[in-house]
Structure 1
Amino acid sequence: MPSLAGQVIVVTGASSGIGLATARLAARQGASIVLASRDEPLLRRLAREIEETGGQALAVRTDVAVEAQVEALVDRAVARFGRIDAFVNNAGIAAYSTLDALPLAEHRRIFETNYWGLVHGSLAAVRHFRSRPGGGRLINVGSVNSDFAIPLLSAYSASKHAVKGFTDALRRELLASDPAITVTLIKPSGIATGFPQHARNHLAEEPRVVPPLYAPEIVADAILDAVRHPRREIVVGAVGPALAVPLALFPRAMDRLLAAVVPPLSKSRNPRTRTDNLDAPTGEALVHYAHAPGLPFSPYTAMQKRPGLTVLLAATAVIGAIASRRRRSRYDPRR
């Protein structure tokens, strides 16, 4: 799929943040968009917005935690557009709390949406992709917290660990049985969306995402790049990779560091938000974080989207360094 023009893309969690940024960007590039979230009035307004600018969009109220609603989402998308080319599992919720203070019902609700919702979407998409020639693209949105958990977002981190395990297992099974169905895991670092305002908050202060923050459009671009060019995994931002090596080499020291640094960095002096979307949508189509714009570019993410060019540039730099060293050695007066 070198172009998105004419492609049919389903996006869950499409009423805000990364999902909304992805839907708008895909529509601008000519894709037909199926918008899914729990907020039907807001979805209908967003669909009209896309259609008024020349695009095609379908709004489908969907709670991804309910398997029957996800199956109905696929049926309505196929009834409207005839097929689905790519399915983006993006819906997610969170709660800021220590684990001992987090009500078990909220812990379960996070898993119902973040993990089971993604399972429902993945399996429904795979069933559809198997029914048509050419397969399809499955894009699952995890997090850098798929690899390392952080305090105060512990249930969220655990759900994203589960997302990574499920996605990796599904990819390996499909490589054996249905190689035309590709599976990509997107792992954003801290993203400047309304995540802190939408999360349930059990802290005394208003929470914030630990910086540095990246613009949600970078994640949207990574998702759509995976639709055009299948990739195993794309990490948005360099925070995860930067922590991976010290976590592997010095796990106990990193436990102490994260325990000491993350809680104070997760709290802000911003006005306290009184609503959240854990049990019901907020009705706000927020893409960006109100208190910080986010970095507009990630060199590390750009390199992952152009691996061939990255290897070529690295090889060129190494060859240039070797040649320069040889020239200096040749004219070294001490020789």
Structure 2
Amino acid sequence: MLKPLEDQVIVITGASSGIGLATARKAAARGAKLVLAARNEHALKVLVNEIKNKGGSAVWGRADVGREEDVNHIVETAIREFGRFDTWVNNAGISIFGEAMDVSIEDMKRMYDTNFWDVVYGTRVAVRHYKERCVPGAIINIGSLFGDRGTVIQSTYASAKFALHGWTESIRMELEKENAPVSITLVHPGKIDTPYNEHAHSYLDKQPAHYMSMIYPPEAVAEAILFAAEHPKRDMYVGSQAKLVAVFGRLAPRVMDKIMERTMYRTQHSDRPSKSKADSALYQPGYGLHERGTNKGWIRKTSWYVKMSKHPLTSAALAAGAGASLWALAKRRGS
């Protein structure tokens, strides 16, 4: 049994922009106390002041979550300010756009620090904290549709997310076997309208972007995260896009290979020149306080798949009812 959100202390990494920022604002509005971490100190200070001015409770801690000692400092901040934490959200992430053979090993290792090792560090400190307190707590890891299915151009990012997914599934089974008081959820976002592409390290001539595709708002991911903070869930897919890519990729991998090869090269960059590598957020903080990015495509207002996942029995009943109605209508027309 996880606590109601208003009784929780929630740690969010990568809180200065995008999904982390949307989640922090949404959680604060629900009454949760927050420990917000990122590399952008200025953005964190502004965000904490914003939350406090609205009557919320939050503290910030500058941290490069690819460094284990910085993750330990986040824990120290949470204990010092609130005496505990109840949910840990491993959200921080960065991407590299470029052909696999072009990306330097140094850049790959740096990205793995942020996208994979930060999750390992965060998971370990959270599990230890929940076990010591003997009180149930949640760990929510933010994966990707590219953690379920590889892609071109973002091969380094996809491989790191595959590692994150494998880590999450493995540690979940180990903790379940020992009846540890930990709920572990893997969130699978589809393409999300955040500054993800602006922060990315690019080897391309054209600026990385979600282009000519279905794009979901960061608030939809925040909704999935906060639901998992209160209700133990194994997986939360944000958008039918993410679920379809995962399922179809397993059922027809060669067909999906061809689809990805034909579509992903032209839909992962825009028509403007790429920002320089020096301006990326791989080795330095990216700009903060922006939930949305500069993507162009079919921008959705929400994710109905998330809403259905929150009420699976009701959704199944509605789907069965709709199917029965269509069957009856077809039968009547045929008679």
What band does the TM-score fall into relative to the shorter chain?
over 0.9
Count of residues in Structure 1 that have an aligned counterpart in Structure 2: 330
1:28–1:271 distance in 2 versus 1, CA, 3 Å: farther
Q: Which amino acid aligns with 2:237?
A: V
Q: Which amino acid aligns with 1:258?
A: M
Contact 2:209 2:295 in 1 (8 A): no
- Range that drifts further, 149-158 or 35-44: 35-44
Once the two structures are TM-superposed, the CA of residue 245 in structure 1 deviates from its matched residue by: 4.2
Matched residue, 1:301: 306
Matched residue, 1:285: 289
Once the two structures are TM-superposed, the CA of residue 323 in structure 1 deviates from its matched residue by: 6.4
- Range that drifts further, 68-77 or 248-257: 248-257
Please tell me whether residue 237 in structure 1 is matched to residue 244 in structure 2. Answer: no
Between the aligned partners of 2:141 and 2:295, the Cα distance in structure 1 is: 27
Matched residue, 2:260: 258
Larger Rg: 1
User: What percentage of aligned pairs have identical amino acids?
Assistant: 37
- Range that drifts further, 291-300 or 159-168: 291-300
Can you give the 5+ residue segments of structure 1 that lack an aligned partner in the other structure?
none
Can you give the 5+ residue segments of structure 2 that lack an aligned partner in the other structure?
none
Superposition CA RMSD, Å:
2.0
Partner SS, residue 243 of structure 2: helix
Matched residue, 1:312: 317
Matched residue, 2:250: 248
Partner SS, residue 12 of structure 2: strand
Between the aligned partners of 2:262 and 2:325, the Cα distance in structure 1 is: 43
Matched residue, 1:131: 132
Matched residue, 2:25: 24
Q: Which amino acid aligns with 2:303?
A: S
Partner SS, residue 99 of structure 1: coil
Between the aligned partners of 1:134 and 1:75, the Cα distance in structure 2 is: 18
Between the aligned partners of 1:127 and 1:179, the Cα distance in structure 2 is: 10
Contact 2:131 2:180 in 1 (8 A): no
Please tell me whether residue 37 in structure 1 is matched to residue 38 in structure 2. Answer: yes
Which whole-Å deviations, capped at 9, do the CAs of 1:47-102 have from their partners, x for residues lacking one?
Answer: 11111111011100111111111112112101101110100000001111001110
Between the aligned partners of 1:72 and 1:290, the Cα distance in structure 2 is: 33
Between the aligned partners of 2:299 and 2:330, the Cα distance in structure 1 is: 40
Once the two structures are TM-superposed, the CA of residue 128 in structure 1 deviates from its matched residue by: 0.5
Contact 2:63 2:71 in 1 (8 A): yes
Q: Which amino acid aligns with 2:70?
A: Q
Normalising by structure 2, we get a TM-score of 0.93
Contact 2:210 2:295 in 1 (8 A): no
Once the two structures are TM-superposed, the CA of residue 40 in structure 1 deviates from its matched residue by: 1.8
1:238–1:323 distance in 2 versus 1, CA, 3 Å: closer
Q: Which amino acid aligns with 2:290?
A: L
Partner SS, residue 288 of structure 2: coil
Between the aligned partners of 1:321 and 1:253, the Cα distance in structure 2 is: 30
Once the two structures are TM-superposed, the CA of residue 311 in structure 1 deviates from its matched residue by: 1.9
Between the aligned partners of 2:9 and 2:92, the Cα distance in structure 1 is: 18
Once the two structures are TM-superposed, the CA of residue 273 in structure 1 deviates from its matched residue by: 3.1
Matched residue, 1:69: 70
Contact 2:189 2:221 in 1 (8 A): yes
1:267–1:322 distance in 2 versus 1, CA, 3 Å: closer
Matched residue, 1:191: 192
Matched residue, 1:120: 121
Once the two structures are TM-superposed, the CA of residue 319 in structure 1 deviates from its matched residue by: 4.9
Once the two structures are TM-superposed, the CA of residue 272 in structure 1 deviates from its matched residue by: 3.8
Please tell me whether residue 149 in structure 1 is matched to residue 150 in structure 2. Answer: yes
Once the two structures are TM-superposed, the CA of residue 318 in structure 1 deviates from its matched residue by: 4.5
Between the aligned partners of 2:295 and 2:186, the Cα distance in structure 1 is: 28
Between the aligned partners of 2:150 and 2:327, the Cα distance in structure 1 is: 41
Matched residue, 2:110: 109
1:77–1:250 distance in 2 versus 1, CA, 3 Å: same
Q: Which amino acid aligns with 1:312?
A: A
After TM superposition, what 4+ stretches of structure 1 lie above 4 angstroms from structure 2?
A: 318-326
1:201–1:72 distance in 2 versus 1, CA, 3 Å: same
Matched residue, 1:268: 270
Partner SS, residue 185 of structure 1: strand
Contact 2:97 2:153 in 1 (8 A): yes
Q: Which amino acid aligns with 2:186?
A: L
1:315–1:261 distance in 2 versus 1, CA, 3 Å: closer
Once the two structures are TM-superposed, the CA of residue 246 in structure 1 deviates from its matched residue by: 3.6
- Range that drifts further, 242-251 or 42-51: 242-251
Which whole-Å deviations, capped at 9, do the CAs of 1:171-225 have from their partners, x for residues lacking one?
Answer: 1111111342100000100000011100011100111125211000000111001
Between the aligned partners of 2:185 and 2:259, the Cα distance in structure 1 is: 31
